[in-house]
Chains A and B, each alone.
Chain A
């Protein structure tokens, strides 16, 4: 390539160099974030059985609907935009941010949310009297 014939000046060279430098920069940025996000992993939340009352109860980002020894465990994140739901009213689980409503089984009653509350895996530790929720 004949660089002289291209008439590229210093300013243009720097501009193109800067744009090209973005590629490794974004790659390294991505790598850093990826490594960091892998470190987060799935969270284990331990909830004592004694804190899980009959009916609906709210815990650290987890909602549990207990009927005797039957548990339904949901994420308390609203499926609309991730707001943390901490209250129920009139037999409904209501998101305080945008007003989405769910029933006690996590199904959407009223939008804006369209997806049901995310069901979470859990483990009942009878001996420890604990429910371990994987979030």
Chain B
């Protein structure tokens, strides 16, 4: 006795055929009550309403579904069993042909049921079925006959409930001479299916996804279709298969067995393809090895009348069950209100069930993290382009940070190799990043509820767009302190909107370059809070860092926030990968402080994102004229109107600020053409000394990328923090040939005890770097630097703090530099210096290529002008004239004017 027969005899209440017949009857009868709530003009919507308001309807739908699956499975087993036992010859030839044809009708009635649920998978299945038929001659008419016109379910519904069903019943009756199964088989089948239907939900697609799969029995076919560019071949094969089945009765016994073996092999092969399609195919039918992500058909139904809505009007526009418990809920921005987008479009889960556990299954509590953004914020109906851009944004990749760190550890030969922080490994450099830096990127998940604050890092979309108002924050505090959080129902929801405040930027940007601190006028100290002096202005941050007040940026004093300058394409990126952060900045000082009218644009000329932002800010009047930044992107908060002063609108307050043109001295000064705005107007720069990095094997470390404690950690020792005038240096753009003077800070002046890291490589030892980094510290002042602060300041020139001694005794002035700090043992330069006095730094000296300190010739030029200031007050007319034309002033020198001891400089 074969295995199937054994199973049939021992475990089943009747034959496979009898159970299939019982299932068919149950399926047909359970379909009748479904016709009442089902609306053929809105199938999906009507099913959603039914699933949330009608427990009996849900039960019958489940029954209809599971009995159909049972009918299909037991019919296949019945076929297999007969072919195995060679009892197919007992069936008359005429009936056999109709039984073979009924296979088409069985699959058609199953597929039409799948399509009639009207969800996204169903719609795609309908398109595929129609297109597949259309590949054969006359197929369009067959397709139209079976499916009706596009978007209309009427014909399909008629075929589902009548044509195909009647045909199947006629064939069944002809085959077994009854449509009534045995009472015992019927009752046991009914009981089993009723239990199954009470426990498990019939599937329906609950949210938008790029995983499109047909019904399980056609996944093998879907896999075959993936591999063939000629789908009609598949139809021909299926037709041949049916012809073969028909003729199997007439094949001689010897060949018949071989034919059956071939059929069995094909069936098993198809079964393999079905399993492949079910478990190993994901988005866009690409391979996935995450088997657990496959749809689980056994989802709890939870059919209890008290769980359901009693009135359809409570459902909301999108008919989501979430509101059964979560209404009222307030606090949303207009675009994200549940009445517009529901709950599941952000939080996923299953919105079409009143059962709490099922509704919360696979739910995302904190949408917007970049690991879920493609399924939440970034779906095709919402913000798909932005997700791609943010994923490539420098704030997500941290490319520059990773590549420079690897370079200084000697693990990379380039300062500018594109890298992603999420892809770093466990080398000494990467572990250094993991221990000290790797949480300041947008890809870091926000795992806890709460607003974005000083201690926040990352969070994807939330990092910038999440806003808690006071009631929401208070309610969250109550929830977190609640003894019964599972039953706590929040009524306030944080908003996701365009109100990006400086606080959103602060968490990450108060570190490293410390721009958020400097912009507000604060400078970080190494003080412990117990060491704060009685005099002076200090502040203690939430992470206990102690700040002292220096001076705020003029833009901050005017009320400007970060996003008044940093436009959306600069912050979220424009889709391109950039190597360093300054490459992604889409604005410059000159975009607002211009002397010649820049390119302007009206509302119709700008991109859709800018238009949307104009609308959200309420600035979408027809007649506006805004500045196109040098990057090519519009600055939506600028207004230029004829001869009137150009104005900047502050995004936070709506206040209008005049955009002042640069002073005359900025525009027409011979000898100062290379100065950038920042090189004169930067008031101070945070700088540090004596940084040393050591790996401590015994330290309680933390892997910031993996978000878990680790044993051992890199530890950074800082010598001294100072708020000083910036150091100036040169950037030579190789592609444009433009040479400009920028502000620098000791970005990577540090020693690294490489030998302290476990498993260090041979020859690893202490390494020392003196790399200065270009920086815009955001400490702009209205007044630029004066002559003395540049030409008599050794720090600015790159020598470090100290004093330049001018020996005036001879006919020429002898210059000598006396450093304030002792020389570093590694390179014999003063601790804070960038270059030796009047010499070149012959090593790589910046964290960027094409950036360097002043060379000896340039140093001489600077110091030469400085010697004039030893006798002449910088306010004298002659010195004012020198700014305009230094060569002209030099020609007027008197015999009393002494020159430095080196040769006449070339200016």
Contact = CB atoms under 8 A, between A and B. Distances in A.
Given A96-B210, A97-B124, A55 B229 contact: no
Interface string B103-144: 000000000000000000001100110111010000001001
Nearest to A99: B285
A84 B124 contact: yes
Contacts of B123: 84
A113 B127 contact: no
Interface in B259-310: 283-286
Given A83-B127, A111-B229, A112-B228, A97 B285 contact: yes
Contacts of B881: none
Interface string A99-123: 1000000000001111000000000
Interface in A64-87: 77, 80-84, 86-87
A62 interface: no
Contacts of A2: none
Interface stretch (A5-13, A16-24, A28-36): A28-36
Nearest to B140: A37
B385 A53 contact: yes
B608 A54 contact: yes
B384 interface: yes
A114 B229 contact: yes
A89 B284 contact: yes
Given A96-B210, A99-B286, A30 B141 contact: yes
A98 B608 contact: no
Nearest to B208: A86
Mostly, the A contact residues are: loop
Contacts of B210: 87, 96
Contact of A81 (B132, B384, B607, B609): B132
Given A83-B212, A96-B211, A36 B229 contact: no
A9 B227 CA distance: 53
B15 to A, nearest CB: 32
Most buried by B among A51, A53, A113: A53
A114 B135 CA distance: 14
A99 B284 contact: yes
Contacts of B222: 97-98
B130 A82 contact: yes
Contacts of A94: 284
A127 to B, nearest CB: 13
B215 interface: no
A131 interface: no
Interface string B447-464: 000000000000000000
A3 to B, nearest CB: 25
A84 B145 contact: no
Contacts of B607: 53-54
Nearest to A129: B604
Given A33-B144, A37-B144, A112-B227, A82 B128 contact: yes
A86 B145 CA distance: 28
Contacts of A96: 124, 210-212, 283-285
Nearest to A52: B608
A36 to B, nearest CB: 7
B404 to A, nearest CB: 27
B256 interface: no
B231 interface: yes
A86 B286 contact: no
A113 B128 CA distance: 13
B141 A33 contact: yes
Interface string B841-872: 00000000000000000000000000000000
Contacts of B611: 50
Contacts of A87: 210, 284, 380, 384
Nearest to B123: A84
Nearest to B575: A55
A101 to B, nearest CB: 8
Given A40-B149, A55-B385, A96-B211, A83 B128 contact: yes
Given A55-B385, A99-B286, A82 B211 contact: no
A43 to B, nearest CB: 9
Contacts of B228: 112
Contacts of A51: 608
Contact of B127 (A54, A55, A82): A82
Most buried by B among A37, A98, A114: A98
Contact of B231 (A40, A52, A81, A84): A81
Given A87-B384, A112-B229, 15 more contacts: A33-B144, A50-B608, A51-B608, A54-B608, A80-B131, A81-B132, A83-B127, A83-B128, A83-B212, A84-B124, A96-B285, A97-B212, A97-B222, A99-B226, A112-B225
Interface of B: 123-124, 127-128, 130-132, 134, 141, 144-145, 149-150, 210-212, 222, 225-229, 231, 283-286, 380, 384-385, 607-609, 611
Interface of A: 29-30, 33, 36-37, 40, 50-55, 58, 77, 80-84, 86-89, 94-99, 111-114
8 contacts: A33-B141, A82-B128, A82-B131, A83-B127, A84-B124, A87-B380, A97-B124, A99-B284
Q: Which 9 A-B pairs have the closest CB atoms?
A: A82-B131, A53-B608, A99-B285, A82-B127, A96-B212, A98-B226, A81-B131, A94-B284, A81-B128
